[in-house]
């Protein structure tokens, strides 16, 4: 079905970016920059309009009946983008149920975080520039999920990388921030090369990069023919996953995300928690049919990488003193959970965790931003404590953070409870590797509760360790920052019911609860990922535990892990004035660990990649370029100058006359030639 307004969804934020960017550039030399009110109005207006259009599109899409042979979708083909040889590609948009789900929270949360930024960045000189970047980011992110083909997605894919670069290095006089920004861009580019090569491999088999054509081809081609091509298909799948590890900060390309916390906090909330970093999961789900027909080792790799990343992020999160770093490692860990779900072919569950995580992690980051705002740029949790009692924070900020905490550790009724338990359930449903990973995932869920509760104790629940200087000059949290926190905080709790599933029946709850027995989320995504999921689970051997038993066992195990983790953290930080030991030690982690837990990766990459590449460049320059090529040329030119020096000498000494003579000579040649006609 055609929808001619789809282009407006990305175009509106782009317009906002252009206007505000122009204003920022035009007023770059003035003391204050353009009028903040106007800039803020535009910056919030355009994403909000995009959100409204997305809602309209979703409403229209829900009217399209789902058929087995064709997933419901609104499409708009704008123009033929490029064609070479027999490869053609249109520039077009695909608004199907997956895109609509992604777009709803991208534009929705995006608008809210833009609103929040109005309050957070108000005093910053670069206000208009920041707003322009945010709009540009939303434009790219919308392209990423709305693109009808891999290249259009890639346009957004690299676009969000660029915006991430610009926003991490937003305060560009700080060299450390600039380095972090550059690192993020380069690491992402490494992944992007994987993306490109994967796409090329796919062209070799499918002959097209259009999502609908890819899906139709992979679902419609006979098993034998696909089996003959399984090598190339698996290669394409794993290369595209390399792209995902870059964008979604998975092992081995995760090192940029903790550093990316150099950016302003709303950026961390929007880009480095809620939206951009989840695009890897989106891509896997988008190409779920590809993963369904690739060799099992591809999904196995994704499963193991996701699990390793989840554990690593959770352990690293235990040792962070910077509140944003703690949340960053938490994001890494949660992304690992999403990839674990994809690894057993549970794309809908992975996406559900993307969805709920967007709410509660954005809330946590925005809450952290509010704390940082109130405490005048203090991010060190050792200098916090007792924030729950501060008048500026005890209302909206504390309660939003509290509910987000409930959600992330997986206490019953929080959004994370549903999404995380669904992941565990699907893991345990697969025998062998799936079950083993499931056990590790439960352990990791417990760790999540430990590090998040630690954050809550250090920040909110312990005695105050705030500097007395700071204490007397606390800022207040403006309304523009409070409203998004309220909405997202509510979202952290209520979004869970979208995937309530058969839980009420399984728990033998009274009939009243059966009314909520909604599988809205799962049903909604079924036409996009359902075929692939069915195909993948057909290959799986079902786990030892009976499916119906899982339905009540996993929630019990999951919430027990959360409660145990909570109490572990409580026993360490919740008794007495914990401030002493934590506050006075330079770090609660081994030396070097507290700052950046990715240091091991950084060190390895530095030794194995960065330094050798630099050295190779220098060696090539000095040995080959200067010594060999230039040296050789120099000797040769010297010989020529000595033997035929006269003519060159004349030209060199009298440049003007030399030029005139050359012109004359040329003219003479022309005349002579023409004379012959």
Partner 1 sequence: MLLLALILAPLFAAAVAFFASGKDGDSSFRLGLFLSLIIAGLGVPLVTCCPDLSLSLPWFSLWGTGAEVKLALASDGLSGWLVQLVTWLTPVAILGSRGAVKERMRDFIACVFVMQALMIGALLARDLVVFYVCYEGMLVPMLAIICLFGGDDRRTSALWFFLYTMLGSVMMLVGIWYLAWKLHTTDLAAIVAGVKTLPADVQGWLFWAFALAFAVKVPLVPLHGWQARTYAETPGAGVVLLAGAMAKLGVYGFLRFVLPIFPQQSAEHAGLFIILGLIATVGGALVAMAQDDAKRMLAYSSLSHLGLVMVGIFTFEATALNGAAVQMFAHGLSVAALFLLVSYIENRSRSFGLDDFGGLITQTPVLGFLFIVAALASAALPGTMNFIGEFELLLGMYALNPWISAIAGISVILGVVYLLILIQKWFFGKARSNETLADVSVSEALAVLPLLLASFFFGFYPAPVASQAGMVAEQLGAPARAKRLEMNGTAPTAMPAALPPEDVVAAPELTPAR
In whole angstroms, the minimum distance from the beta carbon of 518 to partner 1 comes to 31
- Residue 189 CB coordination number (10 Å): 13
Separation between Cα atoms, residue 476 and residue 375, nearest integer Å: 9
Q: Closer to partner 1 at the Cβ: 79 or 512?
A: 79
423 binds partner 1 (CB under 8 A): no
Torsion (CA) 150, 151, 155, 157 in degrees, nearest 10: 30
411: tokens are 């206490």
Q: Closer to partner 1 at the Cβ: 511 or 674?
A: 674
In whole angstroms, the minimum distance from the beta carbon of 325 to partner 1 comes to 23
Q: Are 549 and 502 in contact (CB under 8 A)?
A: no
In whole angstroms, the minimum distance from the beta carbon of 10 to partner 1 comes to 12
In whole angstroms, the minimum distance from the beta carbon of 398 to partner 1 comes to 37
Buried b (16+ CB within 10 A) or exposed e, 505-516: ebeeeeeeeeee
In whole angstroms, the minimum distance from the beta carbon of 545 to partner 1 comes to 38
669 binds partner 1 (CB under 8 A): yes
Q: Closer to partner 1 at the Cβ: 224 or 584?
A: 224
Say whether 430 sits in a helix, a strand or coil: strand
Q: Closer to partner 1 at the Cβ: 89 or 407?
A: 89
Q: Closer to partner 1 at the Cβ: 143 or 481?
A: 143
278 binds partner 1 (CB under 8 A): no
130 binds partner 1 (CB under 8 A): no
Of 364, 276, 272, 263, which Cα lies nearest the Cα of 323? 364
109: tokens are 């949360």
Of residues 604 through 623, those in contact with partner 1 by CB under 8 A are 613-614, 616-618, 620-621
In whole angstroms, the minimum distance from the beta carbon of 173 to partner 1 comes to 6
Q: Are 254 and 598 in contact (CB under 8 A)?
A: yes
Q: Are 284 and 347 in contact (CB under 8 A)?
A: yes
Of residues 286 through 305, those in contact with partner 1 by CB under 8 A are none
79 binds partner 1 (CB under 8 A): yes
In whole angstroms, the minimum distance from the beta carbon of 196 to partner 1 comes to 6
In whole angstroms, the minimum distance from the beta carbon of 12 to partner 1 comes to 17
Of 28, 268, 39, which Cα lies nearest the Cα of 125? 28
Interaction pattern, residues 85-124, with partner 1; x per rule: CB under 8 A: xxxxxxx---------------------------------
Phi, psi (degrees; rounded to nearest 5) at 467: -55, 140
Of residues 194 through 253, those in contact with partner 1 by CB under 8 A are 196-197, 200-201, 203-208, 212-213, 216-217, 219-222, 225, 229, 232
CA distances from 450 to 454, 564, 570 (A): 6, 8, 8
Task: Choose, by CB under 8 A, the member of 520, 641, 657, 671 that binds partner 1.
Answer: 641
Q: In the chain, what are the helix, strand and coil shares in percent, each to the nearest 5?
A: 75, 5, 20
Near partner 1 by CB under 8 A, which window of 186-194, 316-324, 369-377, 414-422? 186-194
Separation between Cα atoms, residue 138 and residue 551, nearest integer Å: 38
Of 337, 348, 344, 351, which Cα lies nearest the Cα of 522? 348
Q: Are 454 and 571 in contact (CB under 8 A)?
A: no
In whole angstroms, the minimum distance from the beta carbon of 24 to partner 1 comes to 9
Near partner 1 by CB under 8 A, which window of 81-89, 501-509, 543-551, 582-590? 81-89
Near partner 1 by CB under 8 A, which window of 387-395, 398-406, 447-455, 659-667? 659-667
Near partner 1 by CB under 8 A, which window of 33-41, 550-558, 581-589, 637-645? 637-645
Task: Choose, by CB under 8 A, the member of 7, 15, 18, 81 that binds partner 1.
Answer: 81
How would DSSP label each residue in 69-137? SS--EEEEEEEEEEEETTEEEEEEEEEEHHHHHHHHHHHHHHHHHHHHHHHHSTT-TTHHHHHHHHHHH
Separation between Cα atoms, residue 221 and residue 242, nearest integer Å: 26
Q: Closer to partner 1 at the Cβ: 186 or 440?
A: 186
Say whether 149 sits in a helix, a strand or coil: strand
Near partner 1 by CB under 8 A, which window of 399-407, 487-495, 596-604, 652-660? 652-660
Q: Closer to partner 1 at the Cβ: 593 or 605?
A: 605
Interaction pattern, residues 159-178, with partner 1; x per rule: CB under 8 A: x--x--x---x--xx-x--x
Q: Closer to partner 1 at the Cβ: 206 or 503?
A: 206
In whole angstroms, the minimum distance from the beta carbon of 31 to partner 1 comes to 13
Of residues 15 through 44, those in contact with partner 1 by CB under 8 A are 25, 28-29
Greatest Cα pair distance in the chain: 107
Separation between Cα atoms, residue 113 and residue 485, nearest integer Å: 9
- Residue 677 CB coordination number (10 Å): 4
In whole angstroms, the minimum distance from the beta carbon of 252 to partner 1 comes to 15
């Amino acid at each position: 079905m055609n929808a001619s307004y789809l282009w407006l969804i990305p175009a509106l934020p782009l317009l906002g970016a252009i206007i505000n960017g122009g204003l920022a550039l035009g007023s770059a030399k003035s003391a204050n920059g353009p009028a903040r009110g106007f800039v803020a109005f535009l910056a919030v207006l355009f994403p909000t309009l995009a959100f409204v259009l997305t809602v309209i599109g979703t409403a229209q899409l829900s009217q399209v009946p789902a058929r087995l042979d064709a997933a419901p979708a609104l499409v708009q083909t704008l123009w033929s983008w490029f064609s070479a040889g027999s490869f053609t590609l249109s520039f077009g948009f695909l608004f199907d149920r997956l895109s609509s789900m992604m777009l709803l929270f991208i534009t929705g949360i995006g608008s809210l975080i833009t609103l929040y930024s109005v309050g957070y960045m108000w005093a910053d000189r670069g206000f208009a520039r920041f707003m322009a970047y945010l709009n540009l980011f939303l434009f790219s992110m919308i392209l990423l999920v709305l693109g009808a083909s891999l290249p259009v997605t890639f346009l957004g894919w690299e676009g969000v990388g660029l915006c991430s670069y610009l926003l991490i290095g937003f305060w560009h006089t700080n060299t450390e921030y600039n380095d972090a920004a550059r690192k993020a861009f380069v690491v992402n580019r490494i992944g992007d090369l994987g993306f490109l090569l994967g796409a090329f491999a796919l062209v070799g088999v499918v002959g097209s990069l259009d999502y609908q054509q890819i899906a139709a081809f992979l679902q419609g081609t006979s098993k034998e023919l696909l089996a003959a091509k399984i090598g190339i298909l698996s290669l394409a799948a794993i290369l595209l996953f390399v792209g995902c590890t870059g964008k979604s900060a998975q092992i081995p390309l995760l090192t940029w995300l903790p550093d990316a916390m150099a950016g302003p906090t709303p950026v961390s909330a929007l880009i480095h928690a809620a939206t951009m970093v989840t695009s890897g999961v989106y891509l896997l789900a988008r190409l779920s049919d590809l993963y369904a027909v690739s060799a099992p080792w591809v999904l196995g790799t994704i499963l193991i990488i996701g699990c390793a990343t989840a554990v690593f992020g959770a352990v690293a999160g235990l040792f962070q003193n910077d509140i944003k770093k703690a949340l960053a490692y938490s994001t890494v860990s949660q992304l690992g959970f999403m990839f674990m779900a994809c690894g057993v072919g549970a794309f809908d569950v992975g996406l559900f965790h993307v969805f709920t995580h967007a709410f509660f992690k954005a809330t946590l980051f925005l809450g952290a931003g509010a704390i940082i705002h109130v405490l005048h740029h203090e991010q060190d949790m050792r200098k916090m404590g007792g924030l729950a009692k501060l008048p500026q924070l005890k209302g909206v900020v504390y309660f939003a953070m509290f509910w987000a905490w409930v959600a992330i550790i997986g206490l019953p009724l929080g959004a994370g409870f549903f999404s995380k338990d669904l992941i565990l359930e699907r893991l345990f449903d697969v025998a062998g590797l799936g079950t083993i990973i499931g056990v590790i995932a439960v352990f990791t869920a417990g760790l999540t509760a430990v590090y998040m509760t630690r954050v809550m104790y250090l920040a909110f629940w312990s005695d105050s360790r705030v500097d007395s200087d700071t204490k007397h000059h606390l800022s207040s949290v403006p309304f523009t920052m409070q409203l998004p926190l309220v909405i997202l905080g509510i979202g952290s709790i209520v979004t869970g019911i979208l995937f309530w599933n058969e839980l009420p029946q399984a728990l033998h709850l009274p009939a009243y609860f059966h009314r909520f027995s909604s599988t809205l989320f799962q049903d909604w995504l079924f036409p996009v990922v359902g075929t692939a999921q069915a195909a993948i689970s057909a290959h799986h051997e079902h786990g030892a535990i009976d499916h119906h038993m899982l339905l009540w066992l996993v929630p019990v195990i999951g919430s027990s892990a959360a409660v145990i983790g909570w109490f572990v953290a409580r026993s360490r930080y919740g008794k007495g004035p914990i401030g002493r030991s934590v506050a006075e030690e330079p770090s609660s982690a081994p030396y070097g660990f507290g700052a950046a837990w990715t240091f091991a990766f950084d060190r390895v990459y530095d030794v194995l990649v960065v330094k050798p590449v630099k050295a190779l460049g220098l060696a090539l320059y000095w040995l080959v370029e200067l010594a060999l090529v230039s040296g050789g040329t120099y000797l040769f030119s010297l010989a020529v100058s000595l033997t035929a020096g006269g003519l060159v000498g004349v030209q060199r000494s009298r440049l003007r006359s030399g030029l005139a003579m050359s012109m004359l000579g040329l003219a003479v040649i022309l005349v002579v030639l023409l004379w012959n006609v």
